């Protein structure tokens, strides 16, 4: 279904998205780029803690950082979640077909009981 390289990318993306803080960071960066300090502030976590979250997002290709003076500016990365969405869509269609089949089975069974 998916080759090994795509699977590894999916693993990194889903691992990064598994954390609620990282998901909130992505939402925040969807509005505008921000420094690590700006991102850490609403979570009341240390800069070191936020840097770890940002590193995970960077490794997944979801965030890009750039050193500007003494701070690091973060923005959304180039990874557009296309691989993850394709994977989700595949299983959505698969389960949709299975559930449709199950519905048809129960409809048929219900009709034979009457």
Question: Do 56 and 34 fall within a single domain?
Answer: yes
Question: Do 68 and 33 fall within a single domain?
Answer: yes
Question: Do 98 and 73 fall within a single domain?
Answer: no
Q: What is the mean pLDDT of residues 40-59?
A: 94
**How many separate domains does the chain show?**
2
**Sign of the alpha-carbon dihedral angle for 28, 30, 34, 36:** positive
Cβ atoms of 76 and 64 within 8 Å: the answer is yes
14-40 pLDDT, tens per residue?
A: 999 999 999 999 999 999 999 999 999
Question: Do 72 and 109 fall within a single domain?
Answer: no
Does 113 score more than 70 pLDDT? no
Question: Do 18 and 67 fall within a single domain?
Answer: yes
Question: Which residue in the block uniquely carries the two structure tokens 């959304």?
Answer: 76
Higher pLDDT, residue 97 or 58: 58
Does 111 score more than 90 pLDDT? no
CATH number, domain of 8, equals 1.10.10.10
Q: What is the mean pLDDT of residues 80-92?
A: 81
Q: Which domain holds residue 98?
A: 81-114
């Amino acid at each position: 279904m998916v080759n090994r390289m795509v699977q590894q990318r999916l693993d990194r993306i889903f691992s990064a998205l598994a954390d609620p803080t990282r998901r909130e960071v992505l939402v925040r960066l969807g509005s505008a780029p921000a420094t690590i300090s700006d991102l850490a502030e609403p979570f009341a976590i240390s800069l070191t803690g936020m840097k770890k979250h940002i590193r995970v997002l960077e490794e997944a290709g979801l965030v890009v950082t750039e050193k500007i003076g003494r701070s690091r500016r973060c923005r959304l990365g180039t990874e557009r979640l296309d691989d993850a969405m394709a994977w989700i869509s595949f299983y959505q269609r698969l389960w949709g077909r299975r559930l449709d089949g199950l519905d048809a089975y129960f409809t048929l069974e219900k009709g034979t009981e009457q």
